[in-house]
Every structure is written in C-alpha cells, then in structure tokens.
Chains A and B, each alone.
Chain A
Amino acid sequence: MAYTLKVNGQSKTVDVPADTPLLWVLREALDLQGTKFGCGAAQCGACTVHLNGVAIRSCVTPVVSANGKAVTTIEGLSPDGTHPCQIAWQDVDVPQCGYCQAGQIMSAAALLAKKPKPTDKDIDEALNGNLCRCGTYVRIRAAVHKAAELAAAGKPAGSPSGARLGGRE
C-alpha cells in the first residue's frame, strides 16, 4: 500500500504494509535515522517525532495513521541545527551516549511550542515518557529552561551561546 506523508516539509510516498511502524518507515524507507529504536513499546521515547505538531511514539504508530499528516523528525526540527533546543542541548552539554537525546529534544520542542515558559513540573510531565539510560535528567531540565530563555530572547543564534553548565573555564 502506498502512503503519503509530509516529512520535514516534503511530501514522501512509501509503499509498505499498513501496520508498519512509522519509526521503521522513517529509518529504513526514508533514511532518516535520527529517530531511534529503544523499546518498540512506547516505553522509552527514543522514537519521538511530531505528528501534526504533537509528540508521539513512532514505534507504536502504524504508518496508516500518519497518512496525509505532517511528520517532523529531529533532522527537520530546524534547517540548520539552530532550534533553541538544539542550541541549548549543546550549551548545557547534555548527552552522555546521546542515544535518547533526539527523542528528548523532540518532546521538549513540542512542550516549548505549547508552553514557552515551562516550569519544572511542566518539563517532568512532558518528558516523563523519555527515558535516559545514562541519567542526564538534571541537564535535560537545565537545557529545556535554557532553550526557553533562548527562544524568548529571540535567538536561535548561529552558534552555541557560550556559557556551559558545569563549565569551569
């Protein structure tokens, strides 16, 4: 069956069975591998993408239910890697292994789109579906706040903004 999705602003048609998880359509049929496989069961959030602007777990989303809709992946979050979350994640130096972080960023970006000034509680609620096996939660919280600040200040700037959490320079 052919399905047409608007992926990162471009119309894409894929010919796969209806129940194929969107995750694997992205990773295999469309070669967008930034979206990660962690559990396949909506437990970890590594596969988070935006479907019509809402953060969803692509591993349990059959392609048929995304047909005709807009999908945004980490690759399409900004044209040049300067979404406030992408800048903030670098400023705060969040990742350890980094495997969960695309999903964390996608959840955070969806939160910020709705709530430009999230509280810790808002962050906990929006990102509770995103596991970080390496335990970078303290920095993830800091980075979401930082992204909110950057967005409010009218950044993104073209490059990381300087001050880094934990920096001792």
Chain B
Amino acid sequence: MDRRLFLKISAIAGGGVALGFVTEEQALAQRGGAMAPPPDVHNYITVAADGTVTITAKNPEVGQGVRNMLPMMIADELDVDWKSVKTVQADYDDSKFVGQSAGGSTATPNNWTPMRQVGAAGRLMFVTAAAQTWNVPAAELSTGSGKVYHKASGKSISYGELAPAVAKLPTPDLAQVKLKDPKDYKIIGVTKPGTEVPKIVTGQPIFAIDVKVPGMLCAVFEKCGVFGGKVASANLDEIKKLPGVKHAFIIDRPDVTEPVIPRDPGLESGVVIVADHYYQAAAARKKLKVTWNEGARASHSSAKYAAKAQEMSKSAPQRTIRKDGDPEGTLKSAAKVVKAQYSYPFIAHAPLEPQNCTAHFQGDKIEIWTNSQTPGGGRRMVSDLLGIPEKNVITHMVRGGGGFGRRLTNDYMVEAAYISKQVNAPVKLIWTREDDMRHDYYRPGGWQNLEAGLDASGKLVAWQNHFISYGEGETFVGSGAMGPTEFPQRFVPNYALHASVQPLAIRTGALRAPSSNAFAFVIQSFIDELAHAAGKDPVAFRLEILESVPAVAAAPAPGAGGRGGGFAPPGMNADRMKGVVKLAAEKSGWGKTKLPKGTGMGIGFHFSHQGYFAEVAQVSVSADNKIKLEKVWVAADVGSHIINPGAADNICQGGIIDGISEMMGQEITIENGKVVQGNFDKHTMLRISEAPPVIEVHYLKSTFNPTGLGEPALPPILPAVANAIFAASGKRLRDLPLKNLGFSWA
C-alpha cells in the first residue's frame, strides 16, 4: 500500500502552562515531561493521498474518552471532516509528546490550546502549499472538508494531493497561528462516538490483558497480605513440578524506609510462578504454600484505628492547619451551635480489568505493553530497577479497562519487567481480583469533628474542624491531607482547621476526585444540618454562603485542576458555583415539586479539578431503610465548550454511579495488618437494578476555558443522596458506607 503518501506535521505543543497549584497526578506528569526537549517535535497528523487523515492521540485511554477528544480538537482546526479521520494511539515517547498521562482531569485544560494549535498549524501548512502550487496569495485561500479553495479562480485541491509539498514546509510558529472563531467549530461540541466502539462490541483484543507476544509466558505473583512482608519459605520444589510451570522463585526486597508508605514503592517481596499459560500458573498458585515474615504492620487493624481516632477526637489537636478570625470565641457567643462527627472508610479502586502488564526483556532493552495512567513514571521505575536506560524501555500504551487512579502507580509494570528479565522471556503478568483488591493503594479513610455557629439570623458565622487522618508528624499519607483553603474557608469569617494523624500500615493515594470524594460528603452534609438548624431552605442557605464573598471576575488560565474547594487563588469562583446551584435547583423543580411521604430531594455542590458541580438527588426511603434512587440532576460549569457532548454525559453519569457505589457498599477494612475484602461480593459496586433510571446532565456554558470531567461530577452526589435521605426520612447519615447503618437498595 505504498500509494499512501504520508505527511508529518511537526508542531509545538506549548503544553506548559503556569500553574499556581498542581495535583499529585499533575506533578507526576510534569516530572514525566521534565525530560522532554522543548515541545518542538510532534507527530500528530498524517494525511494519505486518498485524503485519509490519521491523528495521533497522545494520552493513555482508560475509558475517559481522550482517544476521541484530543484528535477532535486537532481535526476541527485542521478543517477536515471527522469521517475522514482515523485515530491512532501513541506509544510513550517523550521525544515527541508532553503530558502523556491520565490523571487529575487534566487532559482537557492542558490540551485545549495546544491541540487546537497543532490542527491550525496543519491547516496553515496546507494553505501555504496551495498558495505556492497555484502562485496566489495565501490570503485568497480558504479551507473546508480537507480541501483548499481559491474562490477567484474556482480551483480546489485536496489535502491528500498537497501532502508531498507540505512535507517540505517548515513548521509555523504555533504561537502565531490563528485559531478558529469558535462559532465556526464543526467537530468541537458535536458528539462523536468512541472510535474503538466497533472493536469493543465485536470482542477484538484491544486491552492490555489481550496483548500477545510470540513465545510469551504467563506469570502470577503472590505477595504478603501485610505490606512489606517477606517470604520465609515456600514449597517451590513442589510447584515447579506442576503442569506447565516453567519457573517458580522468590523475590526478596528491602522494606520501605519512609515512615509513610509511598504509594508507588516499586517491586515488593513475594513468590512468582511462571507457566506457559495463565490457567496453569493460577492452578499452581492454588497449591502454593508460603510462610511469611509479616513484620510489625501485622498488628494494625481497622478497629484499632477507629479507637485511636475517637481518642484523638476527644483530645487537643496535634496541630492547626489554618485559623481565620476567632472561631472559639464566636462559637461561644453564637445563637446556635451544631456539632457532629462524620467518618468515611478506606475504599479500593477496582477497575474492571485486573492489573496486568506484558514485558519482553531483550538484554540491553525491554519492551513493555501497559495500560498505565502514568507510563512515563513506570518507564523510569523499570529503568531504575533493571539498570536499562529509559530510552531503551520501549513503552507501548494499550487501552485500559478503567483507571480511576489505580493505574497512576506502576507496581504491576515493574513486576512484569523484573520477571521477564529473570526468566529471560516475554511474560504477561496477571493479577487476580483478590490481588488487586488486597494490594491496592486505597482512598484513605478519616474522621471529621465539626462544629459550626449560626447567629440570631441563622447566618453561618463560625466553622471549626478537627480532621483525623493518617500520617507521621506533619506528613499526611497519600491523598489523606486537607488543605488550608478547604471549603467553606474564605466564606466564613471565623474558621479553624485542626488535624491529628496516626500511623498507617497500608498504601493510600489518589482515587477519582481524591479527597473531594470524601470531603464533599462531609462538608455538604454538615451544611445541610446547618440549613435545617437555621430553619432555612438548603438551596437558599447554600446560596447565602456563596454570596458572602465578592465575585471573582478574572478567567483563570487553562491548566490543571485543584482538588478541594478553594485550593489556592484564584480558587473557587463563587459566581460560577452559584450558577450551577441555581441551575440544579431549577432543573429539578426544587421546592416546587410536591413529593409523596417517604420521598425527598437533597442537594450538594463541590468544586474540584476546576469543575463546578451541583447535584440534586431524589430518593425514596422505606420504613426498613431501603433506598430507591429515583432521579438525579447534574448541573456543571466546566467552561465554554463541551468538546464531545455524548461522551461528556456518559462520564458524568458514570461519576454519579461511582459515587453512589462508594457510599452504599464500599469499605476496605484491615485485620492483622491485612485487607479483609477480596472481591466484588464484599466491596460492592452498584448494579443495573440499583442505578437511577434517569441522570440528567445540564451544562452551564461560561466564558472560561474548558476543563475536565473525569472527576468533578463525582463528589457532590454523595451528600446530595445523604441529604435526600434526610429529607425523605429524617435520618441524618454521618458514617459511610451506608450498609453499616442498616441501609440497602430497594
């Protein structure tokens, strides 16, 4: 097929944006990109002679839809028809791309400008080539549907025909390239179904777990249930005799030295079994007998953590993170004081595709196939562990069956790489669901002891929180911190945030909307309690709080999202939040709908990852605490454009379902240092019969740059549902998961 002429367009991805704050994921991505040369060598677009446009999607795809969204931005500015576009997945290559990671809802804000610039630069090159071909001024030319037109002469020429000429042109300066007037967008803002859906519905092998390499063996890896535990002995001789088993060996690694376990500590100790096939390795693993040296962490348990948390709650805080005004004094003189303790558990990510990775060690280089959300970080870890230069760790990015933050770490990647080197053959490592659930890094649990004061008019005048988390000294465990600007800081004159921590024996870290996924539940539920104490409507009370600061006029620069409410200036724009609260109330018929007894509506809002979300849930609660989710309304302000509206709705609805799953049935507990839950029977996920039949999603288009949707839809649904349960039943729920309080789905 060499009739296809390929054009390579180099473009500057100008992805570097000034950020006042970054998420953990963003920091990782930036470190990943730090090795990259100035963004001047890019391979995004190839045009074949027949006009087929191939656009490279540079970021990992784990279901968030970037495989479509990034190419859509390029294609629109390039002025080609979407039906002529094929998208391809990039490999990890920091000589060509920056920001090849999936985390922090950053793909939209970080790529909104650079991807459009890449497309616009491409379009300009075709115009330039046509101007040279026809010897007419470029200003007389226009483009559309992959063609250049000269109106005066009535001539036209296709991009395919121009491709050879364009290949010789210098790349224009991206900063000088003119972007389209948004009113002329033909692709941005128009639903484009996932380009891989035809493959998904016919079962083609497109996921990481489907990767096959000639001569490949399959590995399983048994680790100690207690983090850092080492193998004392194992019946390897017996295992090696079992059908198909090619290798069985022990990995012995030093324990981590940090007081707080890093979320991605690299290769751990354990026993590896390698066989011709997975079913053989899995069968052999059933016969594996290991004696472990579990170490000191085996004394940890959830019961002890809870007891210690209650003890700390009653004691003076270890430290104060922020204090504004005089919260203690104001609480003493307040007309009304409301006090409550809230709690939430550890939870697991559990993406549906279990962790897996294929690695092929070949002496001075290694080839890796991974669904990592941070392939660059994984590549560096493999390089460090095996002593192979990073550029010789060839890292293919393969579609992942869900991410939710779990694939921000690369434990399974270093394991596969190490095992491949040990057995000197290509190896696919597959974790079981139990491996995944018991060797996750978890959303940290915590307790919050809240106290708030209302004045005689029912206005919020003081807010105090003693936050109980995990950590050592001033270091919180991963994603276990609360920042000094967490909502409602800045919206209440007298505010204090105190914290106490205790040591933890498991890994923790980012899970979809990190910290927000727990904090929104606490803060927005407590605000509901205050609204009721003040005798005010929960929507009106929230708007009153949001009214208490002056409006922020300036549009923030495109960039990564913050996590909590407020998080560093410019932080949360109260006007945008008021807008979505009002929209959610309007769409749901808040205060206007007469609901039957036992049915109620609740609202919650939260700002995270630069997204403004307010959500209303309508639920019915039976006398025996069976909950039926009747309907959910989502109001979102994520800026001026929804790039792929159908996919956006899908991901918002998914965030709602995910949040509801978390609040009802998810809890990871520790006994003897080990995670108890191993599968979906104990760490449950919402099933179709439990899902709300209707989840309406409404966007409030604003003048701000578009931001991401992967995370910020999730946090407000937890308090919206909890507040709706209160409205329906008078039961105030302060401890997750709800199953522990005797609730279940109808």
Q: Enumerate chain A interface residues (CB-CB to B < 8 A).
A: 16-17, 19-21, 24-25, 27-29, 31-41, 43-44, 46, 73-75, 77, 81, 85-86, 89-90, 93-102, 105, 120, 123-125, 127-141, 160, 164-169
Contacts and interface: CB of A to CB of B under 8 A. Distances in A.
13 contacts: A28-B218, A33-B203, A35-B203, A38-B353, A44-B352, A75-B203, A95-B196, A96-B63, A125-B689, A134-B654, A135-B657, A141-B693, A167-B646
Nearest to A97: B63
Contact of B430 (A37, A41, A166): A37
Contact of B205 (A33, A41, A89): A33
Contacts of A133: 350-352, 401-402, 404, 658, 685
Contact of A100 (B352, B649, B691, B693): B352
A44 B399 CA distance: 20
Contacts, number: 212
A27 to B, nearest CB: 8
Nearest to A25: B279
A27 B351 CA distance: 20
Contact of A86 (B202, B353, B649, B680): B202
B201 A86 contact: yes
Contact of A166 (B191, B203, B207): B191
A165 B647 CA distance: 10
A73 B282 CA distance: 23
A47 B734 CA distance: 37
Nearest to A107: B688
B550 interface: no
Contacts of B202: 34, 74-75, 77, 81, 86
B657 A137 contact: yes
B200 interface: yes
Interface string B350-373: 111110000000000000000000
A166 B651 contact: no
Contacts of B63: 95-99, 134
A44 B684 CA distance: 10
A166 B645 contact: yes
Closest 3 CB pairs of A and B: A34-B203, A97-B63, A135-B657
A128 B685 CA distance: 11
B197 A90 contact: yes
B646 A34 contact: no
Nearest to B353: A99
Given A135-B653, A166-B649, A96 B65 contact: yes
B742 interface: no
A127 B690 CA distance: 11
B389 interface: no
A44 B487 CA distance: 37
Given A35-B203, A160-B193, 18 more contacts: A24-B279, A34-B205, A37-B209, A86-B201, A90-B201, A93-B197, A98-B63, A98-B194, A99-B353, A101-B201, A123-B688, A128-B687, A133-B402, A134-B63, A138-B691, A140-B688, A164-B193, A167-B645
